[in-house]
Amino acid sequence: MGIFQSIRDAISTAREQTVLPANAILIDVRSPGEFSQSRIEGSVNFPVGEITNHIEAHCPDKTTNIVVFCASGMRSSSARNALIQMGYTQVFNGGGIGSLASKFNKRIV
């Protein structure tokens, strides 16, 4: 495989990882205070430190498409890792609230 094929494969893989499923449950892992001030329409709030306590009641099917997000993507990265350790297989880090709302064409309320 040539260098150009390697680069093309790396770019394709990166694109695939940034595609978020349209039918996903949106979980805001910011604090309740942050969530009460602004949230993506239709999202639910499970703070990053509590997500493992609440997720099974909300998403018993571990193959459910889930997108976690926060203010910048840092807390959602931790939340994603915690859910994967619990056996959830379709968990995506949506990054920050503003860019995610734009990707899903949803309002921030």
Please list, residue by residue across 85-109, b when 16 or more beta carbons sit within 10 angstroms of its beta carbon and e when fewer do. eeebebbbbbbebeebbebbeeeee
Annotated catalytic sites, by residue? 70
Task: In whole angstroms, give the CA distance from residue 10 to residue 56.
Answer: 34
CA dihedral 25, 100, 96, 48 (to 10 degrees): 0
Assigned token pair, 8:
């093309």
Residue of 65, 70, 75, 64 lying closest to 101 (CA atoms)? 70
